[in-house]
Chain A
Amino acid sequence: DSGVTQTPKHLITATGQRVTLRCSPRSGDLSVYWYQQSLDQGLQFLIQYYNGEERAKGNILERFSAQQFPDLHSELNLSSLELGDSALYFCASSYPQAPIDEQYFGPGTRLTVT
């Protein structure tokens, strides 16, 4: 158990809908990262937040957005869902370390868009 929690575990929804995925980082961690794992794209970095502020962006679609709240939990919002958004969404968290933060991954949320 990494200490990172994600809810819900599974989510089934229809095309065009909007969903929110939630992530609670490990106690003391300030950074939250979101990754998407799909069969055709593999594991891809979406976005990072550090202490409430966006720090880095990866291959995140404009239909997707995220935020990190004062209690450091994070939410990933996916809107106008398409079949291709079906994937496993991972959250990871870290605290500042040198030379590079070590990321701890949650169990993921499996999103199925029908």
Chain B
Amino acid sequence: AQSVTQPDIHITVSEGASLELRCNYSYGATPYLFWYVQSPGQGLQLLLKYFSGDTLVQGIKGFEAEFKRSQSSFNLRKPSVHWSDAAEYFCAVGDITTSGTYKYIFGTGTRLKVLA
């Protein structure tokens, strides 16, 4: 079965430091990959997505992610973290259903804390 693993449940970084959130997926075909952010009391906001092509994708809020097929990974990065980045981050893969549509399979999330 398709799955997404986010090995880090919690990560704490200092403001201004760099950030990398890990995501590993298990998917037979070419994966469609997403990173979402969930701020407290909010819904999920799409940060970036990878469908094909350039393996380094740029997203909103200064985030980027790199797709590495050999490692089945899609790690999220940011060179300099801001206090407002404190939130929960979810990696997801699009999984095709029997009707041909896609549902998303989410990882368990990584909660980011930013120290002033």
| Cβ–Cβ < 8 Å partners of B102 in chain A | 100-101
Chain B interface bracket (under 10, 10 to 19, 20 to 34, 35 or more): 20 to 34
Total residues of chain A contacting the partner, CB 8 A: 26
Q: Are B45 and A2 closer than 8 Å at their CB atoms?
A: yes
Partner of A33, one of B32, B46, B103, B107: B103
| Cβ–Cβ < 8 Å partners of B49 in chain A | 102
Q: Are A105 and B43 closer than 8 Å at their CB atoms?
A: yes
Q: Are B106 and A48 closer than 8 Å at their CB atoms?
A: no
Query: Shortest distance in angstroms between A38's beta carbon and chain B's nearest beta carbon?
Result: 11
Q: Whose C-beta in chain A lies nearest to the C-beta of B107?
A: A42
A-B contact pairs, 8 of them (CB 8 A): A2-B43, A56-B101, A92-B44, A100-B32, A100-B51, A104-B46, A105-B45, A107-B42
